[in-house]
DNA sequence: ATATTTAATTGTAATATTGCAATATTACTA
DNA sequence: TAGTAATATTGCAATATTACAATTAAATAT
């Protein structure tokens, strides 16, 4: 064993978990926060801002891109990154639903 | 190398990433969703519901407990789990802030 | 008392992740 | 046409995660 058994879960759960998982590393969360602050941002800025090597930052950017959280556009010799609108909407809906469901009956826990 | 360099990130980022990371596995997300649906839930129910072994479920419950997402109370020979109110509030605030910041200037991306 | 049920722990194998040096690639610049 | 800058890729070592069998522990049931 050793690998996650994705096949026993619904596609939707796997997809949502993949999004949370991508946000679940401090370097990647720092990248997302930078994009929230500056709206767009070139890769090299992140490499200077975060104390990790260029290949490591590149790898984290790839993870965020693969789940659709960010997108990158080539601009000369740079790549300009920004958050992916549809993905943020998906996160909004999912977390919103979650919290609504929580409010409906979680105000007190009887255990 | 091989371990995440937590020391180069702010405590808050590490903490938030840890929460997302805990939600970033389909089994753990399934547990959280079950608790959202049923409010409380005994461990054995999860073991029967999710096609993973009892030790594996127990391990995932521990991860969720360690970051404070859930709490468990012993009830006879069972353990009754529920979501942790203060943690859910933290998630609400963080994601809320994130989405507000996004709305402020992310409606269109110029790259 | 003994058996059963529920859950946690321990140990371990398989696999994935993290991080970086070295290198490749691509585009601009002098 | 070099030379430089920004990024991606490859290969690898260190570490973490996932999953489970076996075992333990604690409470209940017979």
Domains of chain A are: 9-105 (1.10.10.10)
Decide: B33 and B81 in contact? Cβ < 8 Å. Answer: no
pLDDT, average across residues B71-82: 94
Q: Does A83 sit within 8 Å of B106, measured CB to CB?
A: yes
Q: Among A1, A7, A16, A29, pick the best mutation site for testing chain B contact (most B Cβ within 10 A).
A: A29
Element (H, E) at B26: helix B26-38
- Within 7 Å of a protein beta carbon, the nucleotides of strand C are 5-11, 13-22, 26-28
Taking residue B70's Cβ as centre, other Cβ atoms within 10 Å add up to 22
pLDDT band per the 50, 70, 90 thresholds, residue B102: confident
Q: Chain A, 71-100: which have a CB under 8 Å from a chain B CB?
A: 71, 73, 75, 80-83, 85, 88, 91-92, 95, 98-99
How far apart are alpha carbons B38 and B71 in whole angstroms? 15
What average pLDDT does the structure give for chain B? 91
Quick one: CA dihedral B94, B4, B24, B85, positive or negative? negative
pLDDT of residue A107: 57
pLDDT of residue B82: 94
**Strand D reaches within 7 A of the A56 CB:** no
For B36-71, the pLDDT digits (tens) are 998 899 999 999 999 999 999 999 999 999 999 999
Decide: B64 and A102 in contact? Cβ < 8 Å. Answer: no
Q: Supply B41's token pair.
A: 């839930």
pLDDT of residue A110: 66
How far apart are alpha carbons A46 and A48 in whole angstroms? 5
Closest among A31, A4, A20 to A67, alpha carbons compared:
A20
Q: Which residue ranges in chain A fall short of pLDDT 50?
A: none
Residues of B in contact with A33 (CB under 8 A): 13
pLDDT of residue A109: 67
Q: Supply A83's token pair.
A: 């958050």
Question: For B98, which residue in chain A has the nearest alpha carbon?
Answer: A36
pLDDT of residue B92: 85
Q: For residue B105, what are the CA distances in angstroms to A58, B98, B99? A: 25, 12, 10
Task: Say whether residue A62 is in contact with chain B using an 8 A CB cutoff.
Answer: no
For B4-18, the pLDDT digits (tens) are 999 999 999 999 999
Q: Does B13 sit within 8 Å of A30, measured CB to CB?
A: yes
Residues 6+ apart with CB under 8 A from A62: none
- Within 7 Å of a protein beta carbon, the nucleotides of strand D are 5-11, 13-22, 26-28
- Give the closest residue to C21 (Cα–C1′): A55
DSSP secondary structure code for residue A6 in this structure: G
């Amino acid at each position: 064993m050793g690998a996650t058994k994705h096949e026993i879960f619904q596609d939707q759960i796997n997809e949502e978990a993949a999004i949370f998982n991508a946000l679940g590393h401090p370097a990647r969360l720092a990248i997302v926060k930078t994009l929230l602050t500056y709206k767009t941002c070139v890769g090299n800025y992140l490499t200077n801002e975060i104390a990790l090597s260029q290949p490591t930052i590149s790898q984290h950017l790839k993870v965020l891109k693969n789940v659709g959280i960010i997108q990158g556009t080539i601009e000369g010799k740079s790549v300009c990154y920004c958050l992916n609108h549809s993905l943020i909407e998906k996160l909004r809906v999912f977390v919103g639903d979650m919290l609504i469901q929580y409010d409906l009956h979680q105000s007190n826990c009887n255990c």
